[in-house]
Structure 1
Amino acid sequence: MITWPDFWRRTTSPLFYQITGQKIGTEQVRHLNDFFTDPKYYAIDSDEDIIFSTPYHDRAGTLPDWTTESGEMLINKKLHFKTLLLSLYYNFDGPYGYYPLLSQGGAGEGDKETFVAAAHYYKLPYYQVYKMADRAYGWYNKEQNYEHSSIVQYDPLTDYENLQQVKKNIEDAIKNEGENFQYDYDKFFTDYFQPYNSKQLFYHKLG
């Protein structure tokens, strides 16, 4: 299963995991969607209270950031048949049950988080594209805020190739800088996945 990212961080309620019986850890096991860097390079100071200082969706057992934009998905139905059935169940009672649990009124609340939530429950593999979505074909409102009419999503094959280079960049930086290594998510991820080294694949029209 391949999914594409939305613009926002995850806001899934802890109650969702209680309802689904999924155990959530207290220690930080990743930073956003970085599953590759040893947590010792970015985890909070051991003198701090781990439970209250660790970002909730960076803990073991939770759905990782970023949120999903489900205007397009690629699903192997044979492998993810259970995912589709469970997401169907989530959507039957979506507006009054699982949508608020999965998003808590966050931007774009709807069916979009049900698919990764179902795959996560069954521990089935999926890949969410790392290149963040871009806004396109818009205008500036009276407050000079950009209003877009389309979301640009990128090719997962090119994205995966870029991810291999990102992992190598992190490994090289740790090896070369040693104790002086400073973890910088924006440098390794946000700044690396750019339109010039990615390939546009979908233009998702809003509305």
Structure 2
Amino acid sequence: MQPAPFLLCASLLLSSLCPGAENRKDGNANLLALTVLPQNIACLCRGPASHGSFVHQLPLFANLLPFDANTTGIVTTAGLRSFGQVISLVLTTRRSGSRLPIQIMLDSSAPWVDKVCVDTMPRFDATCVFLEDEWAAIVSIIASTFQNVLFLDADCLPVLNPGPIFDQGSEPFTSTGLITFPDFWISTVSPLFYKIAGGLEVPSVSSRSTSESGIIVFDKARHADTLLLAAYYNYNGPSHYYPMFTQHGAGEGDKETFLQAALVLEALRGQGVYKQPTAWMKPGAGVKKGYWDVKMFPSVHGRSEPRGKWRGMFIKQVDPMEDYRAVMAAIEKAKTSPPETKQLAGRAEQEADFLTNSTFLATLGTLKLEHDVSRIMFFHHNGVKHDFTRITDSKSGIVATNAEGEYLRMWEKPDWIIHDFGRDVEKLLWQDSIEIYCQPEMAQFKQLRKVCAKMQTIYEKVYV
């Protein structure tokens, strides 16, 4: 597969990047926990591969961003080791009622994976796209043919239909085109990053939480520049930006690159340094643009096991439409002005205001948010993976027994799930997965015969 033209340009531009920044862990709880050599800061601030140079050329790159206009779908990444998780994702998505097409970006395969991709996935309107190398979330979003993308990690299950996120007039997507979801920790972005990004104001540590990269909603028409700046951060991530974004904090990697790209471009627009053209916002010209970082913090669900052991299973993330409703209701109740809209100096009239609500504490202050906690949309299985191809592996954590040797459910008693979602999500996932792994044509694969037998045994003892 040949890289898209803008990736070739980016590779040439970035090939002269300076050596990696030196960094260190710091036991103190201060914001500046990195040691970066002055010449490395200068390299990122000036020169052909600098942050400013890349931002200046974003309109050119954005014009080359490929997608099919007015298309919407789900994108995920997987390989041989995680394809079982993708099967669970696809099955759960369809049980949620969603009919959004799904594109699965694969970096590795096997005969059984090929067979599922060719013979089974089309029944679920899911397509496998084979790539030569391991591609991260950022490139999967870029490579997808969809304009409007819901990106999900392979271990993320949509238990509530995500389709309405993209409905006409649905907020916050209609007014922003970008939705991110929070992680558990406060932001620890180094002040050096804001210096490199253009001498931007350094936000307070408590202004917002970190974001996670396992669930992202993108309109590539409105956010081509945001997406490509995030790609720049990821391209130079291990050597430069990943350490600056977390200072060796929890989850160092691509998690902060998406929202930071949006924050930086908005700040540069506010300074008049970056003026976004609209000609390439096909067909998003004149449409509102901004970003929404979900305000409701995630919560964890787990399973109690023998000898007092508790095993984390998944993180619960709220429906972003419910989050928006809760924020608007709190603002209305407090009789304050709506979320900040900024009329940026020097912008063309056809460019709409940017809805910016980028912080939890700084934006909302003491407002009390009253979310409908039953409106959980995603189970992000960061604990035990929902990969039934590993059900015969005792170390996978999928199978557990109580003191009497009886099999346990993955998610414990289903009462709250049935109440909130109107169905036994876990039971249906097992039921649908058995239909996949126990297809007659899968019997040619020895390991899948074992998977089928084990799943049928557990299902009959636990779910029937």
Structure 1 8/140 Cα, relative in aligned 2: closer, same or farther at 3 Å?
farther
Q: What residue in structure 2 maps to residue 127 of structure 1?
A: 292
**1:117-176 per-position Cα deviation (integer Å, ceiling 9, x unaligned):** 11111116100111111112345899x89652311111111111111111123338xxxx
TM-score (norm 1): 0.66
1:100 positional shift = 0.9
Task: Kindly provide the amino acid, as one letter, of the partner of residue 200 in structure 2.
Answer: K
TM-score (norm 2): 0.31
Structure 2: 5+ residue stretches without partners: 1-177, 267-288, 337-363, 384-464
Identity %: 36
- What SS does the corresponding residue of 1:78 show, helix, strand or coil? coil
Structure 1: 5+ residue stretches without partners: 26-54, 59-63, 173-182
2:258 matched to 1:87? no
- What SS does the corresponding residue of 1:18 show, helix, strand or coil? helix
Q: What residue in structure 2 maps to residue 13 of structure 1?
A: 190
Task: Kindly provide the amino acid, as one letter, of the partner of residue 203 in structure 1.
Answer: F
Structure 1 9/78 Cα, relative in aligned 2: closer, same or farther at 3 Å?
same
- What SS does the corresponding residue of 1:105 show, helix, strand or coil? coil
Q: What residue in structure 1 maps to residue 371 of structure 2?
A: 193
Pairs within 5 Å for 1:64-103: 64-103=207-246
Q: Is the 8 A contact 1:170 1:188 kept in 2?
A: no
Structure 1 184/118 Cα, relative in aligned 2: closer, same or farther at 3 Å?
closer
Q: What residue in structure 2 maps to residue 56 of structure 1?
A: 204
**1:78-133 per-position Cα deviation (integer Å, ceiling 9, x unaligned):** 11111111111111121221011011111111101000111111116100111111
Q: Is the 8 A contact 1:91 1:111 kept in 2?
A: yes
Larger Rg: 2
Q: 1: CA distance between counterparts of 2:231 and 2:325?
A: 32
**For structure 1, which segment, 70-79 or 115-124, has the greater mean C-alpha deviation from structure 2 after superposition?**
115-124
Q: 1: CA distance between counterparts of 2:310 and 2:191?
A: 33
Q: 1: CA distance between counterparts of 2:200 and 2:301?
A: 40
Q: Is the 8 A contact 2:302 2:310 kept in 1?
A: no
Give the total of aligned pairs. 157
2:162 matched to 1:162? no
2:201 matched to 1:24? yes
Structure 1 146/6 Cα, relative in aligned 2: closer, same or farther at 3 Å?
farther
Q: 2: CA distance between counterparts of 1:2 and 1:97?
A: 25
Moved over 4 A (4+): 138-142, 144-147
Q: What residue in structure 2 maps to residue 202 of structure 1?
A: 378
Which structure is richer in relative contact order (CA contacts within 8 A, separation 6 or more)?
1
Q: Is the 8 A contact 2:322 2:372 kept in 1?
A: no
- What SS does the corresponding residue of 1:7 show, helix, strand or coil? strand
1:71 positional shift = 0.7
Q: 2: CA distance between counterparts of 1:116 and 1:161?
A: 21
Structure 1 17/169 Cα, relative in aligned 2: closer, same or farther at 3 Å?
same
Q: Is the 8 A contact 2:190 2:245 kept in 1?
A: yes
